[in-house]
Structures are given as structure tokens and as C-alpha cells.
A and B are shown apart, each in its own frame.
Chain A
Amino acid sequence: MFESCNQIRECFSDYIDGACARQAVLSIRYHLRHCGACAAEFERYGLMREDVRTLPRPKPSPVTNLRLNVALSQAQNSSVLGPLRVRFENVLRPLLLPATGAVLAGLICFGVTLECLIVPPARVDASTITTPARIESLAPLDFNTGTEGVVLDTHVNADGQVVEYKILSGTPSPDLKPQLDRLMYFGVFRPATRLGQPTDSELVLSLRRITVRGRDSAAPAHNGDSPGPSQPPAERSSV
């Protein structure tokens, strides 16, 4: 089957492993029995295999085992988002202190600027918020009011009209009521205001007729008085 020793020796590897065909095995056995050189070569093959097989088997050191356990523990507890989260934190962490400082500086600047820009609220007197009703003009009195005069409590609406009045004191007479009605009707009043808007209010009027010697005329004196938050100054008119 084999023509030379070289062919036999090329088959030693398969022969040792038992991978040769039966016919080849028989031929090699026969050749080894009769060829001393090939038998010696085959013996060296066997020694070499024995040497390789008896090589000491290295074992992992305790440090290697520890590293392996740590790597496995990390692999066990790692997730898909874990590395991304770590990267994100690593990017953001250096920016955290400057960003906080910038926000704080911005807040301080904003506060300082705001304090400069805002005008402090003016102290508003209550008297400027509300104004009492006043008399603009009143017709001359042509009736007798007596020595005490006549005191009226009038209700002036937002349009500056007297909607009703009440006689608080004075000498009653049959002609007084129509005279007062005419006086109120033709009188011009300025309505009271609250926060700049006209509003209803009460106005107290004190009427007195004054006669001046030498002339046959009457000089009525009338005072306006309001019970509102501020007392109106007395008004005086003469004809």
C-alpha cells in the first residue's frame, strides 16, 4: 500500500489517533515491524505526545478568579440604559457647578434690576380717593328762612341731581316746600366721586336769607355739608 518510509511517516499522526483505514493500519504495523528507522521515529512520536500530555496545567490565580467574579457581577447587574445613564451623568456633572452659579447670578441680577426698575407705590391719601358732592350754583332765595335758617339733608345722585331731600331744621311755612323744590331743581351740583367715578352721596345744606339795608333784595346764604369721609367746606352764594 505504501511505497516509501516517508509515506508511512506522514500517516503516523492519523495512525496514533486511530483515524486510519483498516488496510492502512495493517500496512503501517507490518512496516514498523520490519523498518527500524520508522519504528524509532514512531517511538519519538509517542514520547513527544507523552511530553505534551504531561505538561503542567496552569490554574487561574486567586486574583484572576476575583477579576472573573467581578466581571460576572457587573455583567449580571448591567442594563441597556445603565451605560447611557452613566455617560449622561458624566457629561452633566462637570456642568453642574457652573450652571448652578449661572442660575444664581442670574437671579441676583434679576432681583437687583427689578428693584431699580419698579417705582414704589405712592402714598395715596383717602381724601384723594373719594371727593364729596359740591354745589356749583344755586338760584337766589326769594323766601323767608327765619333767623335760624333752614338745614336740608339732600341726596345727590351720580348725575349731580338732587333726587330727594329732608328738612332737618327751620321754620315750617306753607310756601317753603315749593320754594325748596324749585331751588333744588334749578341748582347745579357736582356729584361726589369714588376712585374717580361719580357716585351717590348725601349733602347737608344750610340756607339763610340775608337782607342788606338800602336795597330790597335778599342775600341767601347756604352752606353745604357732607357726612362722607370728609367734611365739605361751606358754600356761599349771593345774588
Chain B
Amino acid sequence: MEAARTLETAIEQISLQAAEEAQLVAELQAGSEEAFAYILERYRNPIYSMVAQILVSEADAADVLQNVFVKVFRGVGQFHGQSTLRTWLYRIAVREALNFRRGWFRRHFHEPFSIDDEPAEPAAKLAKAPAASGPYETLEQSERQQLVKAALDALPRSYRAVLVLREMEDLPYDEIAEMLGVPEGTVKSRLMRGRDLLRRKLASMLGR
């Protein structure tokens, strides 16, 4: 009885969300600036985070973020609701990230960076890190995260994209498959190989 009530509440919430999203999409397609500002505010940070993890470079992620939202702005009229708005946005972002700098020149061209940028020193991250049990633990956690990030960045882009979407964005297999335009079986195999590679790299780095 309790389970049935919970299920009913969940269905109501889903239908309510679907109605809200349909209204939001209608406003977007009508050219509402407020609706687009809402989309921008809601999805800018998650999409940037995901793209930065896939592309490694935050400068590239900024370029991709720009391209993604310009494409969304221009192509929202072609969105017919076959998927959720979030899936559609993420699909554009993932494909834009995977197609970014595919050519030889793009792969080997590196944009100049400013010396005024924030240095990536452990001490700087120490101030930002959440309050741990002590400074040594915080420093150890920061260094560990750097190693994990380095191991993740060392993976091939196709494996890294699947890992990011699954582990960090917590997306189901079918949505990942739709975003990448591959079958679910491919997602599973890439995920398994990506995890295995990452575990081996971490094992060699952390000595476990």
C-alpha cells in the first residue's frame, strides 16, 4: 500500500516535470529571453564541468561551452521533444566536446595562457577544500584528487567521456548511448574498459 502510494507520487512528479518542461520548451521556441536565461543559469555550470572533464583543458571547455549554447539558441526550434531537454542539451555538449580539435592542427595548437591566471597549487586548493579532519588530511585528499584527475585525463577520450557521464553525471546507460549515438552495449564495454584502465593507472600511481 505504501509502495503504491510512493509510486503514485513519483508518477505525479514526473508528469508535473514533463508539463513544466514542455512549457519551458514552448517559451524557448517562442524566443523568450527569460526562458533562455533560465536554461543558461541552470545548465551552464554542469555542462561546463562535464565538458572540462572530457576535454581536460578548461580553455577548450570555455570555447565548447560557448559553441554549445549558441547552437542551442539557434537550434531550439528544431527540438521536437523526442528526449528530455537535459538529454538534448547534454547530447549537443558531448558531441561538441568529442568533435572539438579533431584535426592535426587543432590537436597540436595550444592557445597562449595568461600568467595572471590562478595558479594550481595545492596551497590554493587547500583554502577551497571542504573542511576535513585536519590540514594533512586535506592536503592528502587534494593530492589524491590531482592523481585521479591525471589518471582520468590520460584515458582515451571515448572512454573518458563515458566514465564522466556515468560516474560524475550519474546518467543511465540508455541516455549515455543516446548522447554518444552508440548502442548500449558499446557504452557498457567502453565503461568496463575505461574503469579497468583507470583502476590500473591509479594502482600504479597510488601503489595499491
**Does chain B have a CB within 8 A of A82?**
no
A51-59, A206-214, A226-234: which lies at the B interface? A51-59
B29 vs chain A, min Cβ distance (A): 15
Q: How many angstroms between the C-alpha atoms of A68 and B62 in the bound complex? A: 8
- A19 pairs with B173, CB closer than 8 A: yes
Q: How many angstroms between the C-alpha atoms of A68 and B48 in the bound complex? A: 11
Q: Tell me the residues in window 42-64 of chain A with beta carbons closer than 8 Å to chain B beta carbons.
A: 44-45, 47-49, 51-61, 63-64
Which B-chain residue is minimally distant from A75 (CB atoms)? B70
Q: How many angstroms between the C-alpha atoms of A52 and B145 in the bound complex? A: 8
**Does chain A have a CB within 8 A of B90?**
no
Q: Tell me the residues in window 87-124 of chain A with beta carbons closer than 8 Å to chain B beta carbons.
A: none
A41 vs chain B, min Cβ distance (A): 8
Interface size on A, residues (CB 8 A): 31
Which A-chain residue is minimally distant from B147 (CB atoms)? A51
Which A-chain residue is minimally distant from B148 (CB atoms)? A51
A52 vs chain B, min Cβ distance (A): 5
What 0/1 pattern do residues 57 to 81 of B give for CB contact below 8 A with A?
A: 0100110011001100110000000
- B152 pairs with A60, CB closer than 8 A: no
Q: Mostly helix, strand, loop or mixed at chain B's interface?
A: helix
**Does chain A have a CB within 8 A of B167?**
yes
**Does chain B have a CB within 8 A of A76?**
yes
- A72 pairs with B168, CB closer than 8 A: no
B3-11, B16-24, B97-105, B194-202: which lies at the A interface? B194-202
What 0/1 pattern do residues 64 to 84 of A give for CB contact below 8 A with B?
A: 110110011001100000000
Q: How many angstroms between the C-alpha atoms of A57 and B166 in the bound complex? A: 15
- A14 pairs with B73, CB closer than 8 A: no
Q: Determine which of A17, A55, A63, A68 lies in contact with B53 in the assembled complex, contact meaning CB atoms within 8 Å.
A: A55
**Does chain A have a CB within 8 A of B86?**
no
Q: Collect the chain A residues with CB atoms within 8 Å of residue B40's CB.
A: 68, 72
**Does chain A have a CB within 8 A of B154?**
no
Which A-chain residue is minimally distant from B50 (CB atoms)? A57
Q: How many angstroms between the C-alpha atoms of A45 and B195 in the bound complex? A: 8
Q: Collect the chain A residues with CB atoms within 8 Å of residue B202's CB.
A: 48, 51
- B198 pairs with A48, CB closer than 8 A: yes
- A75 pairs with B73, CB closer than 8 A: yes
Which B-chain residue is minimally distant from A63 (CB atoms)? B62
Which A-chain residue is minimally distant from B128 (CB atoms)? A56
B206 vs chain A, min Cβ distance (A): 9
Known: A14-B188, A51-B145, A64-B65. A58 touches B49 (CB 8 A): yes
**Does chain A have a CB within 8 A of B123?**
no
**Does chain B have a CB within 8 A of A10?**
yes
A198 vs chain B, min Cβ distance (A): 86
18 further A-B contacts with Cβ under 8 Å, apart from A17-B191, A19-B173, A64-B65, are A13-B192, A44-B199, A49-B167, A51-B202, A52-B148, A55-B152, A56-B128, A58-B52, A59-B49, A60-B48, A63-B62, A68-B69, A71-B66, A72-B40, A72-B69, A72-B70, A72-B73, A75-B70
Residues of B within 8 A of A (CB): 36, 40, 44-46, 48-49, 52-53, 58, 61-62, 65-66, 69-70, 73-74, 125, 128, 144-145, 148-149, 152, 163, 166-168, 173, 188, 191-192, 195-196, 198-199, 202-203, 208
Top-7 shortest CB links A-B: A13-B192, A57-B49, A64-B62, A51-B148, A58-B52, A52-B167, A60-B48
Can you name 17 A-B residue pairings with CB atoms under 8 Å? A14-B192, A17-B166, A17-B191, A19-B173, A44-B203, A45-B195, A45-B199, A51-B148, A52-B198, A57-B168, A58-B58, A58-B61, A60-B44, A64-B48, A64-B62, A71-B66, A72-B70
